[in-house]
Structure 1
Amino acid sequence: MEDISVITAVHHPLRRRMFDYLLLFGASQVTALSRALDSQVGSISHHLRMLERAGVVERVEDPTGDKRTSWWRVARRGLTWSADDFADSPADALLAREAQRQGIRLQFERLQRWHRHRHDADYADYDGYSTDSTAWASPAELQDLSMRLLATIRDWQESIDVRDGQDRTPVFLFAHAFPSEP
């Protein structure tokens, strides 16, 4: 189970963008993050320290050896959690539900942005996809599905060599599986 401080740290909108940027581009300098995310250097530095306290990012040596610059990378690849993990603490459960709402908003905002821009020249070769299904599952089987999907996604991510010269664009993947009525 994730600590609530980790969940609330990552689910701040700017911190989530910073986490995603570092996942995609690897170790980066604060000023590069600032430019890429159109945010002030001081704000980026503050939010990096918040993510560092939560154990989500870490400082790294400047690859050029310059001690005057601040470089950061992700300390972990992702989070898997449920708001239900915090049922024993009403305060943490409230924070977890808000982080969950923020995460869902982010997911659907990204999906809407894709649909608005999917015919732009930058995405001409990308189809995107949508899939859904309905099945029967026990709580343990639903947990098993979650773990299998996570393993598949991580295997797929690790199979891609971003240095092979192919043109790529960042892609966002999200999946939800939950009890439902037909």
Structure 2
Amino acid sequence: MTDQPKPREARVLDAGALRALAHPLRVRLYDILSQYGPQTASSLAELTGESTGATSYHLRALARHDLIREVAGRGTARERWWERPAGMVTLSNPEMENTPSGRAVLEAVHSETLTLRHQQLMQFATHGWDETEEWRDAALIATASARLTATQTRELVQRIQAVIDETVARYRDQSGEGVRPITMRADIFPLPTERGSA
């Protein structure tokens, strides 16, 4: 019998952090910092098409809730570098799920996050042909269906998450020739029950 990796602990965002994140530009900034690493307000303005003043304002709002932080020892008083701390963050909060206003905040954050993910997926689906054959062959877009119990689904999620966790831990800070940011998606959820089924 082999030892199974322990599921990693995720930071559960409190209501204040989720409300701070429930803004389209803040989700974009958070996403860029997550995927591409440290940035300045100026570089984020360039990437998002927003003004430096706007990105700077929203970065400070994210920092107030410890969603991002200033990079220690990097930058100047005029040019601050920001990063997203390493570690898993869950965009769910059980307490907020119990109130209409809390659910509205969670829905706003999830909707904007998934919209960005879908845009990235569609960008690759429509322009991935411009990638080298090596990168095209390395990519995967796949969907499968199975009939599982909640327990079996949880076990599947844990196995997939363990592979993702191991990969992130091993290669998070890798740099060098041929290294690019890669996004890994795992969407596992129940479909609506069939009409007439129990």
Normalised by the length of structure 1, the TM-score is 0.79
Task: Show the counterpart of 1:74.
Answer: 84
Root mean square deviation of aligned Cα: 2.7
What are the equivalent positions in structure 2 for 1:106-117 lying under 5 Å apart? 106-117=116-127
Unaligned stretches of 5+ residues in structure 2: 1-11
Q: Report which structure shows greater RCO (CA 8 Å, sep ≥6).
A: 2
Unaligned stretches of 5+ residues in structure 1: none
Query: 2-side partners of 1:177 and 1:29: how far apart?
Result: 35
The one-character-per-residue Cα deviations of 1:114-139 (angstroms, maximum 9, x if unpaired) are: 1110111x45422221233323122x
**Which has the larger displacement, 73-82 or 94-103?**
73-82
Query: 1-side partners of 2:88 and 2:105: how far apart?
Result: 19
Task: Show the counterpart of 1:87.
Answer: 97
Task: Show the counterpart of 1:174.
Answer: 185
1:135 to 147, 156, 161: 147
Distance 1:173 1:100, change over 3 A: same
Query: 2-side partners of 1:18 and 1:53: how far apart?
Result: 14
**Matched residues, number:** 178
Task: Show the counterpart of 2:6.
Answer: none
Percentage of identical aligned residues: 22
Question: 2:55 aligned with 1:44, yes or no?
Answer: yes
Distance 1:101 1:21, change over 3 A: closer
Rg (Cα) greater in structure: 2
Query: 2-side partners of 1:123 and 1:7: how far apart?
Result: 39
Distance 1:22 1:108, change over 3 A: closer
Query: 2-side partners of 1:15 and 1:177: how far apart?
Result: 26
The one-character-per-residue Cα deviations of 1:24-51 (angstroms, maximum 9, x if unpaired) are: 4433332222233332111111110121
